[in-house]
Amino acid sequence: MEKKNDFVVRFAGEGGQGFLTAAVGFATANNQAGYHTQTFATFPSQIMGGPTWMQARISTSPVLSRGDDLDVLVTFNRENYDLHKDEVKDGGVIIYDSEAFQLEDDSKSLGVPFDRLGKSTGNPRAANMVVMGTLAGLVDMPQETLQEFNRKRFSRYGDKVVQANGKALDLGREAAKASGFRLGQLNDPVRPEYDQIMLNGNDAICLGAAAVGVEFFIGYPISPATTILVWMENNLVGSGKFAYQASSEIESITSAIGAGYAGKKAMTATAGPGFSLMSEGIGLAWMAEIPVVIAAVQRGGPATGLPTKTEQSDLLMALNPAHGDVRLPVIAPGTVEECFYAAVQAFNWAERYQGPVILLSEHALSERQQNIRKPDLSSLTVENRRVYTGGNGYQRYDGFELSPMPIPGTPGSYVANASEHDGMGDTTHLPQRHIQMTERRFSKLKLLEDGVYESDGTDSAVALMPWGGSKGPAFDAYRQLAQSGVDIGWYYTMYLNPLPPALLEELRAKELVLVPELNYLGQFSSVLRSLGVRAESITQYTGLPFKVGDLVRIVSERIGVRKGEGVAV
Amino acid sequence: MTDKNPEYDFKWCPGCGDFGVRRALEQAVERRMVETEIPIENTVVVAGIGCSGNMVHLLEGPQPYGFHGLHGRTLPVSMGVKMGNPDLNVVVVAGDGDFLSIGMEHIAPQAQRNLNVACVIMDNAVYGLTKGQSSPTAEYGMVTSSTPYGKPEDGLNALRMYLTSGVSFVASAISSKIKDLSGLIYEAMEHPGFAVVHVQSPCTTYHNTYEQLKGNARKGIAPLAWDIPDDHDPEDLGAAFEIANSGGVPLGVLLRDEGRAPFEARIEEMARSAKSKTLEQMVESYAV
Ligand SMILES: Cc1ncc(C[n+]2csc(CCOP(=O)(O)OP(=O)(O)O)c2C)c(N)n1
Ligand code: SF4
């Protein structure tokens, strides 16, 4: 049997069944063995019940997308079997608990009494380990890989648990062997030379913020941003640090701004509904020129929408979150690793231009566990605002460009003013002042044109340019298209505003820029068109990320249509 | 803004109560400078939006830092400033519309935290800046531009609301008694916790109440304002409620509860029991 480089398993059941830990555990074990892994989860917003699934992808090379089709489906009830069975590949296997329900023979299904076998080991929670053992058996994974994971993860619960789990792993493996099902052995992992960590996107944002020196965090619980608040409350403690659950998002943003004004590196995190409530506050930070970072982790839909699904429909709001002439700096990471660096750069930008920066993430990134290269903390650039150090009587807002910022407690008192103001920050309505201050605020964006971007196949007249979390599936699609001889290029940046100027210049020269994005309006392509780029969106609004196969098909179709129209591609 | 600023075009109407409040605040801030020898730049005045909030631009003498933000959001801004740097002396100035209508949602949470800021609330029972609409403290039946047939709601008893919410220092004053007011503002700044000085500050243009507050014997108008008796114990919450329920405008300190830790001390206390990690440890906790 041919060896495999890639393996996708999905666990589907009801919320609260605890099998999510099996998916993460299986990924972690393989990661420890040197494979690259990524998990993807989707669930309803209630704690218990309702259909839920989580999948893990294991690969010998870095994983960019969740995996379109399944090698194995693990299902815990009939309903989920029916829902997911069609996504199992030819030659794939469906594992189910043969004592929970019965399936007629479909030549794919492998019944294993996980629950009974698990309990027989003496650990009533060992069913997950039985499943993992069966999975290992199907792909001929060395049993030691899982046993080592078992020892590492469970030794703190005592030897008894480790022993029971070990037995459960063996029972599961034996069941796979006895069944005769085999999927082909996974190739040996190519262990990266660098150190790795495994975490989800929200944790990566938090680590990045900590690395760049966040001192003040305030937020209000909301999916999928809550885990940022919880992380900060656990870790941002000690002298000079403040992490706190506010009574609303209005309180969060205005307090964060108060702290930024008082000289702190301040941050808040929220999602759609809370982001809407922050609107007026974000305008205040822009107007009064106060550094603050707002992490907006997108969920689906307007209003309360789809709290636990993924979408990229808050881009236009991120760019223009408040009334009046504003255009916010926006950094939108596309991978877990980028979440870390996006947080670092969001703070650096906020400090550098003295204003609010939007860190635009999304549900799919927040929930995804992925192995990434361990960040080299010693090589990070950490920027701090220019601070005013003179005496009193300073004109803080003088001139058309950035100026040093006084910090309360030291000389240089001024009024940070949300109304249009003069040099001291006193309110004024004079036309020439409004002209000066408006131009001053926009001129500062020029300081942020140091974003980097990726490109490939730059000679092509057509380019694929996703943003945010659509990067992974789009890059997989790009590779497939390029390999099959399609003439197409690749561009990507997480710096959505301001866009790196050289990137914009390259994009403007293209006949067509295709933008895969998870929204109805085609938000990023409309922004690109307004900047003079011939851009067109590939949209999807299902609450789920793109599948690679869908993108390959749609891009091919679009290019075909263009060819039919006589456009040179 | 110490000198006359030709670009700044806002003026209070002649006789506006806010003039007196300004003078009282200036005196309290200057007294603090003298008595503590802490320089003026240690004080931050966080202002609401309204005629009253303009005080932050109109202060004369030594210039503190100012923050003139959004309508109704003085309290959360002041929380960020104070918790960002607990060494600062933070004073909130706002109108009754700003503080008690759009900003009402922020009062109880700050009272529970015992946020260590002093609030000076200028109550004129109307929205001055937007030209005389009714406010939460306007009485039932009061005719204003937005209540042409009389205000349909009851007037809010702000003092009772502060006590109910858990504000730990509550004082009541009128803008014309500058020396008394300045003493109360000073006490509020020194109070270790959330302090509100609620000031009757008449709007001469839309709702002139000077005569009602002070009374006019000739016209047979009894004064609304009355002094809180010397034997009132400000540590007695029940007695404070009795004063708040007595009607009129009591003058003096209703409640002074110094037994509750201010917010910054609470955070410090909790941090003491926390295991703080180094950045390297945080990264290492995700090692595979
Ligand atoms: C969000 C928002 N809503 C409405 C306004 C308009 N507005 C400005 S001041 C004000 C009321 C001011 O009344 P008050 O706080 O009592 O202050 P005063 O002018 O009486 O001193 C209103 C409604 C605003 N600036 N912002
Ligand atoms: S409108 Fe009323 S509150 Fe405003 S300045 Fe004039 S008198 Fe004062």
Confidence band for A568, pLDDT divided at 50, 70 and 90: very low
pLDDT band at A569 (very low <50, low <70, confident <90, very high): very low
HEC letters along A206-239: HHHHHHCCCCEEEECCCCCCHHHHHHHHHHCCCC
Chain B touched by A192 (CB under 8 Å)? no
Rounded to an integer, what distance in angstroms lies between the CA atom of residue A249 and that of residue B150?
35
List, for chain B, all residue ranges whose pLDDT scores fall below the cut of 70.
1-2
**What integer pLDDT is reported at residue B275 of this predicted model?**
84
Using one digit for the tens of pLDDT, what is the confidence trace for A36-61? 999 998 877 666 566 688 999 999 99
Size of interface A-B (CB pairs under 8 A): 186
Same fold flag, A198-373 and A454-564: yes
Model pLDDT, residue A1:
67
**Is residue A283 scored above 90 in pLDDT?**
yes
The span from the CA of A297 to the CA of A225, in Å, is 6
User: Counting every residue, how long is chain B?
Assistant: 288
Class of domain A454-564: alpha beta
Q: What is the pLDDT of residues B57-96, one digit of tens each?
A: 999 999 999 999 999 999 999 999 999 999 999 999 999 9
Give the pLDDT confidence score for residue A101 in this predicted structure: 86
The residues facing A362 across adjacent strands are: A298
Look at chain B and report how many structural domains it folds into: 1
Tokens of B259: 């037994």
The answer to whether residue B32 is domain-embedded is: yes
CA distance A88 to A47: 27
CATH entry, A198-373, from 3.40.50.720, 3.30.460.10, 3.90.245.10, 3.40.50.970: 3.40.50.970
Q: What is the DSSP string of A33-77?
A: TT-EEEEEEE--SSSS-SEEEEEEEEESS---S--SSEEEEEESS
Domain residue ranges of chain A, discontinuous segments joined by +: 6-179, 198-373, 386-448, 454-564
Q: Are A536 and A513 in contact (CB under 8 A)?
A: yes
Let me know if residue B1 belongs to a domain: no
- The ligand with the least distance to the CA atom of B12 is 2
Contact A246 B288 (CB under 8 A): no
Strand duo B43-47 + B65-68: pairing:
parallel
What pLDDT score was predicted for residue A504? 98
Mean pLDDT of chain B: 96
For ligand 1, mutation pick of B71, B119, B208 (most atoms within 8 Å of CB): B71
Helices and strands of chain A, counted as H and E runs: 19, 21
Reported ipTM exceeds the 0.95 cut:
yes
Nearest CA in chain B to A152: B288
3-state SS of A394-415 is CCCCCCCCCCCECCCCCCCCCE
Calculate what percentage of chain A has a pLDDT beyond 70: 96
In one-letter notation, the amino acid at residue A119 is: K
A376 vs B: CB within 8 A: no
* Cα of B16 from ligand 1 centre, angstroms: 16
d(CA A412, CA B198): 30
CA distance A92 to A183: 7
Entry pTM:
0.96
- The beta-carbon neighbor of B85 closest among A197, A210, A262 is A262
Q: What is the DSSP letter of A187?
A: P
How much is the mean pLDDT over chain A? Answer: 94
Q: What is the third-level CATH fold of A6-179? A: Pyruvate-ferredoxin Oxidoreductase; domain 3 (3.40.920)
Asked whether the beta carbons of residue B68 and residue A416 sit closer than 8 angstroms, the reply is: yes
User: And the tokens for A478?
Assistant: 């790009």
Separation of B205 CA from ligand 2 center, angstroms? 6
pLDDT tens column, B168-200: 999 999 999 999 999 999 999 999 999 999 999
Q: What is the CATH number of the domain that holds B162?
A: 3.40.50.970
3-state secondary structure of A392: coil
Residue A354, pLDDT score: 98
